[in-house]
Amino acid sequence: MDSHMKTWLLIADQVPRRGSLNMAVDEYLFARARKGDETFLRFYRWEKPTVSLSYGQEAARAADLDFCRANGIDIVRRMTGGKVVLHIRELTYSLASSDTETFNPTLQDSYRLISLALIKGLALMGLSARLAPASPPSYARGTMPCFAFPAKGEVEIGGRKIIGSAQKRTGASFIQHGSVPLDKNETLLKAVARFDAEDTGVNMTSLSEALGRPVAFDWAALRFSQGFSKFFGVKLEPLSLDEKAWQEIFGIEAERYGNHAWTLKR
């Protein structure tokens, strides 16, 4: 292996975690990436069905809060933009970096590079995916959920969205995270999300549907890891977060993502 290859730190989280903790881990990694030259790639999952709102969404306009409460569905607010996402049986990735040599210093360009790396991972699974063209204007303006349509630059298979992603930037530093359904549950998505009156369709697929067989989290995480490594020409070094890191993460969770008032703010 080339000794000049860059090394990224890889977290393949084996423990499904509550949504507020998942979001706190991502913010912690973003903060670390902003301080130094480390790039973090993380794969994770959710311990129970969770709706995530984007940073700026009004909770009651984006999701049916009463339905979520009545059915034990958690609600969290991300630090990123985008639209409402239902996290259930999925693989979630996040990538945090300040590496301007590897990533273009604009949201659109870095987003496209990450999408191409994800497509490489899908190819290693035997799937042919592509970058989506522009989505309908009604999707951009409306309250429809993330998986209603593939937005421009997102990843689709056969015209249906397979990965939904969002990014936050501060100067040259960014974090991007995204949802890859292992299985899809359109019925539950339609129940939790607020659709515009004229648009009730969901144009999505899942890894299991696309491959025609059940897909395990670890199997998919490995192939996405290989896809990122091959596409960007980097080594991936496993990272375990230590006790000091977890104490910081729990503090972030308590202040924001686990704070009901923060989650439901306008």
Marked catalytic residue, from 146, 175, 192, 210: 146
Residues 35-63, buried b or exposed e (16+ Cβ, 10 A)?
A: eeebbbbbbbbbeebbbbbbeebebeebb
Of residues 184, 220, 217, the one with CA closest to residue 203: 184
User: How many whole angstroms separate alpha carbon 82 and alpha carbon 176?
Assistant: 11
Q: Residue 70 is encoded by which pair of tokens?
A: 């009545």
Angstrom distances, CA of residue 189 to CA of 103, 145, 257: 33, 8, 22
Identify whether 146 is a catalytic site residue: yes
Give the list of residues 6+ apart from residue 203 with CB closer than 8 angstroms, or none.
Answer: 147, 148, 149, 150, 159, 160, 161
56 with 48: CB under 8 angstroms? no
113 phi, psi to nearest 5 deg: -60, -45
Q: Where are the beta strands (DSSP E) in 109-172?
A: 130-131, 155-157, 160-170
152 with 82: CB under 8 angstroms? no
By annotation, the residues acting in catalysis are: 146
